[in-house]
Structure 1
Amino acid sequence: TRNDGFEYPEALGTIITTEMAIYDLPTLEKELGEIEMSYVSEPQNDYQKLMRKRSNVVLNHVAAKHSEKVISTIALVPDGGNYK
Structure 2
Amino acid sequence: MTKADIVNEITKNTGIDKVTVLATVEAFMDTVKASLSKDENVYLRGFGSFVVKKRAQKTARNISKNTTIIIPEHNIPAFKPAKTFTISVKK
Shorter-chain TM range is: under 0.3
Alignment TM-score, normalising by the size of structure 1: 0.27
TM-score for the superposition, normalised by structure 2 = 0.25
> Is the strand fraction higher in 1 or 2?
2
